[in-house]
Structure 1
Amino acid sequence: GDLYPLMREIVKQNITGIQWIATRPSTPEMFKSFGGTVGFVVRKMAMPKLGTYLKNISPYFPS
């Protein structure tokens, strides 16, 4: 996919401690950087407020 080169670079630079959201699982060699990924697997479904929710969440909430 389009993000695979970015994912390889994240693994290469040993970037960890980030919560990722993805639509498919990462490969075993990427587990160290992407092991905590929250994944969504759906056939096709409308989630009307998901975009708004994702744009408004904060790692600092609640403050």
Structure 2
Amino acid sequence: MPKPLQIDSLWTERISDQLNGLEYGSVLITVHDGRIVQIDRTERKRFDPSSESRRGAEQPVRSVT
């Protein structure tokens, strides 16, 4: 029978810290033998090309021949 997972306040805080400020991405919690042993955070940055051009972002460099 599997061991019940127990999460104390320390792990709750660690998980919350990883979620804080995460706009796009994932948080992976690894459990071994009923205990949390690792937290992985993968963060994605998304850029909207149409909004960047409206803000005056740099245009691609074109070669002149």
> How does the TM-score come out when normalised to structure 1?
0.23
Question: Comparing both structures, which one devotes a greater share of its residues to strand?
Answer: 2
Question: Comparing both structures, which one devotes a greater share of its residues to helix?
Answer: 1
> How does the TM-score come out when normalised to structure 2?
0.23
